[in-house]
Amino acid sequence: GAVVSQHPSRVICKSGTSVKIECRSLDFQATTMFWYRQFPKQSLMLMATSNEGSKATYEQGVEKDKFLINHASLTLSTLTVTSAHPEDSSFYICSATVTSGGAYEQYFGPGTRLTVT
């Protein structure tokens, strides 16, 4: 299957600082990537759709000025959590879409665990 990487895998930051998370498609080009957030014992919640060369599309309730997404190339999307607060502590996962037999399959990065102190 397709490989998606994320960096860093774990980050601890102080409240008020910004954190950048990278998502890369390693063996394919991804015009669209997705960013999810998952709180403990809850399902993945789609935050935004990242489109290469254009603005990201944010889900309702997600602040675009707080969660900055940049998809500058076909293999890299970044999510920057600006002015992080403890409530932003979560597991952030990116995914990219691969077309297979007419269906769209999602491949996920390993996730980034963010802890804001």
Partner 1 sequence: RKEVEQDPGPFNVPEGATVAFNCTYSNSASQSFFWYRQDCRKEPKLLMSVYSSGNEDGRFTAQLNRASQYISLLIRDSKLSDSATYLCVVNRYSSASKIIFGSGTRLSIRP
User: For binding to partner 1 (CB under 8 A), which residues are involved?
Assistant: 1, 32, 34, 42-46, 49, 57, 91, 93, 95, 97, 100-101, 103-111, 113
Nearer of residues 1 and 86 to partner 1, judged by Cβ: 1
Cα–Cα distance list, 73 to 4, 33, 53, 67 (Å): 14, 11, 7, 19
E strand or H helix that includes residue 72: strand 67-73
The CB-of-33 to partner 1 minimum distance in angstroms stands at 10
Q: Smallest distance, Å, CB 34 to partner 1? A: 7
Q: Which is nearer to partner 1, 14 or 104 (CB)?
A: 104
Angle at alpha carbon of residue 66, lines to 63 and 68, rounded to 5°:
100
